[in-house]
Amino acid sequence: MQHIINFLIKYRNLLLYLVLFSVALVFTIQSHDYHRNSFIHSTGNVTGSVLETRNDIYSYFDLNRQNTYLSEENARLRMQLLALGDTLLGQESTLIFSDSLPFIVMPSRVIKNSYDKLDNYITLDVGTNEQIKTDMGVITSNGIVGIVDVSSKDFSRVISILNSEISLNAQIKGTSTIGSLTWDGTDPYKMNLMDVPRLARVSKGDTIITGRQSTTFPPDIQIGVIEDAMLIDNGSRYKIEVRLFNDMTDLGHVYVIKNRDKAAIKVIDTLSNE
C-alpha cells in the first residue's frame, strides 16, 4: 500500500497531466459526431477481435454438446428424408448434377436385391406407370446401382452393377482417362476398371466417376475409390481395383434417372457410323 502511495506521489505531475488529457479527450469525443464515430469505430475493432478470440475458446469447449445436437438433428432429418422418399408419397423430382444439367429422377424403393450370384438383379417398386423404361440408370446418393432391364406396370427389374454382363464407362476424376468398369463375381464391394492405358496417371485414393460417354448415367457421379492397380497384358494396360462407395448389400432407396436427351444423343451417335 505504501508503495502505491509512494508511486502516486512521485509521479503526481505526470498522472495529473494524463488524467486531465483524458478528460479533455472525452470532452472532444463527446461533443463532435465525427470524433465519436471515429473513436467508436476503432475501439469497436479492438473489442471485436478480442471478443472473437474469446468466442473461439468458448465454442471449442462447447464442441461436445454441439456434436450431440448435430447427430440428433441428422437422424431426425434422415427420417424425414426417408419418409419423403417413400414411393407411396413420392413423386418425380429434379436433381441437378454437375454440368448444371438438371436430370429428372424418380425415387423408388428396392424390394428385392441380390449380390451373391454371378449375375445379380434388383427389383424396384416403380414401373411403366411412372414412365420407367428400359436402359434408364439407377443411382443412390452414394453411387450407382445399375440399369433398368425390363419394366412392368408396377415393377422394374434392374441389372445390378454386380453383374458379369455389365460394362460401364467410368473415368478417373481429375483426368480424362476412361476405362470399362466390370465385375468379376468375387467381392460385392469391389469392381475392376479395365482397359486403362499404361501411360495414364493412376494413384491409390483417386476417385472413379461416371464418364461423359454414357447416355445412361449423368456424368461426374462418384462410383468408388482406387484401391490397387496392376499392369496386365505384358504391362500395356492397367487393371484397377475399385472399392465402391455404394454398399450394394444394403440398398433401401434409389433414384431412377430419366435422361431427357438420351434419344437425341443416340440418334447422333448412330448417324456417324453410316
- Residues of the shown chain interacting with other proteins in the complex, contacts defined by CB under 8 A: 12-14, 16-17, 20-21, 23-32, 34-35, 38
- Would you say 7 or 21 has its CB closer to other proteins? 21
Q: How far is the CB of 19 from other proteins (least distance, A)?
A: 9
Whether 152 and 126 have beta carbons less than 8 Å apart is answered as no
Q: What is the CA radius of gyration of the chain?
A: 32
Q: How far is the CB of 49 from other proteins (least distance, A)?
A: 19
- Would you say 32 or 78 has its CB closer to other proteins? 32
- Would you say 20 or 264 has its CB closer to other proteins? 20
Q: How far is the CB of 36 from other proteins (least distance, A)?
A: 10
Task: Tell me the C-alpha distance between 267 and 49, whole Å.
Answer: 63
Q: How far is the CB of 43 from other proteins (least distance, A)?
A: 14
- Would you say 38 or 134 has its CB closer to other proteins? 38
Q: How far is the CB of 45 from other proteins (least distance, A)?
A: 14
Q: How far is the CB of 37 from other proteins (least distance, A)?
A: 10
Whether 172 and 202 have beta carbons less than 8 Å apart is answered as yes
Q: Which residues pair with 95 in a beta bridge?
A: 103
Q: What is the 3-state secondary structure (H, E, C) of 63-106?
A: HHHHHHHHHHHHHHHHHHHHHHHCCCCCCCEEEECHHHCEEEEE
| Single-letter amino acid, residue 157 | R
- Would you say 5 or 199 has its CB closer to other proteins? 5
Q: Please report the beta strands in the chain, taking only residues with DSSP state E, as ranges in sequence order.
A: 93-96, 102-112, 119-124, 137-139, 144-151, 156-163, 168-172, 178-182, 190-197, 207-210, 222-232, 237-244, 253-258
Task: Tell me the C-alpha distance between 262 and 214, whole Å.
Answer: 9
- Would you say 17 or 69 has its CB closer to other proteins? 17
Whether 178 and 213 have beta carbons less than 8 Å apart is answered as yes
- Would you say 30 or 134 has its CB closer to other proteins? 30
The closest alpha carbon to 92, from 84, 100, 83, belongs to 84
- Buried b or exposed e, range 33-67, using 16+ CB within 10 angstroms: eeeeeebeeeeeeeeeeeeeeeeeeeeeeeeeeee
Q: How far is the CB of 80 from other proteins (least distance, A)?
A: 55
